[in-house]
Amino acid sequence: MADPRIYLVTGKGGVGKSTVAAALALRQARSSGASVLVEVEDGRAAVRALRGESKVRVMTVTHAAAMQNAITRLLHTRILAKAIVKQRSIARLLDTVPAIRELVVLEEVRAIAQEFPNASVVVDLPATGHAVDFLRVPAAAKRFLHSGPAAKMCDDILAQVLNPGSSAIFVVSTFETVVAQETRELCERLKNELGFPATSIVMNRAPKAVDPHALAQLTERAVHTPALRPIEEIARARAAACQEAENSRGILAGFAPVVTVPEYFADPSAADLVGELSW
Amino acid sequence: MNTRLWIVVGGGGVGKTTTSAALGVTFAKQGRRSLVITVDPARRLADALGVQLGVEATRVQIGGVNLDARMPDSRRSVDHFVDWLWVDADARKRVRDNPMYRELGDALAGVHELVSLAVLERDVQSGMYDDVILDTAPSRHALELFDYPQKLIKMLDERTLRFMIGLARIAGAALEQRPDESRLFAWGKRRAGALVSHLVGETAIINIAALFVELEAARERWLALVQSVRTRLESRNTRYLVIAAPSGAALDDAAYLCSELTQRRSKPTALIINRTHPARDPWPQLDPADPLQDIVMSLQRDSERLGAQTQTAFERVRSFPNTGASVASLPAVAAVDPTQVLLALAEHLGAQSWLNPSAAR
């Protein structure tokens, strides 16, 4: 398969999803020349991770703008689209009816990919905790709409954004058991409900390995040297975390290749992580 | 009735669920009857408490005290909500069979929070608890529970409904039981309506409109719900805790949540920085030739970075606009057993004065 055009980055909140998405965008910018990082509503985390790196174009998609753009594309006229979005009743309707937000965000992603045909498009999906619910909207909306321009829009999104042949889904996890279990569940649902299995799992903030020989020595010495005991405790905790990470790899095995990104003990930059994202 | 409701908000991954459970344990230790409710589908709460949790309250024994916990099923909650909202069985069936509801009902942003609030109203009013703790969905979405009721009310205001019903007419639907409102439709609106129905198709418009008609029929119940939720959110017995962690993203979220809550006249009672690392005592200096030098140096470096990150977090929090919230910190607990983590955190929380039963909001 050729390199994917669109990378959909998902995962629970707090796993470092935005940083991984920024690193992925940077990696693609360096390897293929151009990349666009799409953030939804709030792009601060990604901008912080990029630390002013200019190779990546960051585009923040707001629901309001995405809505107007989608209607503009449907009607081929911006003036009418503006009028519709401003019409109070319609505005309220669009604000409340389920799934419209998800749909227009994905439509905006589609349009961005079309606008930058030579760039990789990396999408930092919102951390709603329901990535599958987000991504299954176009198919569900299509079933509901049957035909007409909006249904055609759903078809285009399915073909151009949610197509396993040209897009990739990266699921970000951490080493912790609970997070790995959730990630596993998410991967199962992606495969079964969306028919789009995860392309890759990123195990972020993996603990650094502790040399077992050094740990044994440390334990032995700590018996006689009280000053070493707190350090031994930290080393033990780290060894336990490594064990947990190993178990988590087992939990995630069989869904997608697991890429491990080590813990950085500070807010890492996209450039810090980019070297770790090799597969 | 003096049941206190604690609404725990914060960005993802900051340890909201564990802190909520620890809060429950802390109250139980004070001899108060406490209930912890999590809407987090991640089962973190069950994990931390070491039990299976269901939709109904489960009694949990931990660290020698008892507390109740429950976990509404967020995927089923919308269906329950429909059951609650429409008293009439035929209306319920029409709603559940509506293709729009069937395909997209559970994508209703904010409705899960709304439902969980509606459901906990029963717990708060039961008189069975002194403290009810609500662990909200991660991230900024938690605040949708403030806005969603208002949005719905606006959408259900008569004009919007008439507009929708008008749309259905334009699309050719004959909703006979509705009075003729055509007078209210200006030409422009009709044009806009025609365009919308062109975009999404006639069948879809009819289905959407049908759903709106049902929503209008349940208007009284909506209004009652919105009113009770608003009263609850603004009650002096409702307190807000913002949880953060020493990372840039978590602190961004906390700053946002603090200021939004304050704007909504729901000042946070406390801001808790979770997973802090104290600066360590001087590290032992080993001989450079010591075989343990490498591992000790490596651990020291990491520990210093974590300590520095905590310092940065405290400095950042000092620059937050003053909301009058207490600032507290909880240490990172290295235990592998989630119950041990919970008990250690409860120990730390027990020392906080703002948790005192006599403390004001």
For residue B281, the chain A residues in CB contact (below 8 A) are 230
d(CA B184, CA A49): 53
Look at residue A180 and tell me whether its pLDDT is greater than 80.
yes
Residues of chain B with Cβ-Cβ distance to A145 below 8 Å are 200-201, 203-204
Query: Which pLDDT value is given to residue B188?
Result: 52
For A18, nearest residue in chain B (alpha carbons): B249
Inter-chain contact A150–B14, Cβ cutoff 8 Å?
A: no
pLDDT, position B67: 94
Q: Which residue of A has its CA nearest to B16?
A: A14
Closest partner residue to A98 among B14, B104, B292, by Cβ? Answer: B104
Mutate to test the interface with A, among B299, B310, B339 (most CBs of A within 10 A): B299
- Closest listed residue to residue B269, CA positions, set B237, B245, B247: B237
Mean pLDDT of chain A: 89
pLDDT tens by residue, B121-163: 888 988 999 999 998 876 666 676 677 766 767 766 666 667 7
Mutation target among A228, A231, A243, A251 for the B interface, most CBs of B within 10 A:
A231
Q: What pLDDT score does B27 carry? A: 96
User: What confidence tens digit (pLDDT) does each residue in B234-263 have?
Assistant: 888 999 999 999 988 889 889 989 988 888
The answer on pLDDT for B176 being more than 90 is no
Q: Which of A1, A19, A9, A8 is nearest to A266 (CA)?
A: A19
What 3 state SS string does B126-191 have? CCCCCEEEEECCCCHHHHHHHHHHHHHHHHHCHHHHHHHHHHHHHCCCCCCCCCCCHHHCCHHHHH
Range B38-75 burial, b when 16+ CB lie within 10 A, else e: bbbbbbbbbbbbeeebeeebbebebeebebbbbbbebe
% of chain B exceeding 70 in pLDDT: 77
pLDDT at residue B52 is higher than 50: yes
pLDDT at residue number B177? 38
Residue with tokens 């879809």: B204
- The residue that leads in pLDDT, B46 or B315, is B315
What pLDDT is attached to residue B190?
60
pLDDT tens digits for range A26-71: 999 999 889 999 999 888 888 889 998 889 999 999 988 999 999 8
Least confident of B196-205, B265-274, B325-334, B336-345: B196-205
| A148/B200 Cβ within 8 A | yes
Q: Are B299 and A137 an interchain contact pair (Cβ–Cβ within 8 Å)?
A: no
Catalytic residue among B40, B68, B123, B253: B40
A17, A79, A89, A215, best to mutate vs chain B, most B CBs in 10 Å:
A89
Is B83 among the residues known to form the active site? no
Average pLDDT of span A167-172: 96
Among candidates B197, B284, B224, which has minimal Cα distance to B84? B224
The alpha carbon torsion through A210, A213, A219, A224 (nearest 10 deg) reads -130
Tell me whether residues A231 and B201 touch, CB distance under 8 A.
no
Query: Is B44's CB within 8 Å of A178's CB?
Result: yes
How would residue A105 be classed by pLDDT, with cut points 50, 70 and 90?
Answer: very high
From the list B107, B196, B292, the residue facing A84 with the nearest CB is B196
- Decide if pLDDT at B335 tops 80: no
Q: Do A234 and B334 touch (CB under 8 A)?
A: yes
Retrieve residue B156's tokens: 């259900």
- Give the pTM: 0.85
Average pLDDT over residues A184-213: 93
Mean pLDDT of B48-56: 76
Give, as one character, the DSSP assignment of residue B67: E
Q: Is it the case that residue A8 has pLDDT exceeding 80?
A: yes
Q: How far is B278 from chain A (nearest CA, A)?
A: 13
Determine whether the interchain pair B138/A129 forms a contact, defined as Cβ–Cβ distance below 8 Å: yes
Nearest CA in chain A to B310: A266
pLDDT at B175: 36
DSSP A257: P
DSSP state, residue B338: H
Residues of A with Cβ-Cβ distance to B166 under 8 angstroms: none
Q: Looking at the predicted structure, is the pLDDT value of residue A252 above 90?
A: yes
What local confidence, expressed as pLDDT, does residue B179 receive? 41
Report the alpha-carbon angle A78-A81-A86, nearest 5: 125
Q: What is the mean pLDDT of chain B?
A: 80
Residue A257 pLDDT: 95
pLDDT at B174: 35
pLDDT of B113 > 80? The answer is no
Q: How far, rounded to the nearest angstrom, does the alpha carbon of residue B48 sit from its chain's CA centroid?
A: 19
Q: Find how far residue A230's CA is from the centre of its chain.
A: 37
Nearest-CB residue to B291 (from A101, A137, A217)? A217
Calculate mean pLDDT across residues B38-50: 69
Option in A83, A218, A221 nearest B192 (CB): A83
| CB-nearest partner of A74 from B192, B199, B252 | B199
pLDDT, residue A199, reads 96
Other Cβ atoms closer than 10 A to A137: 25
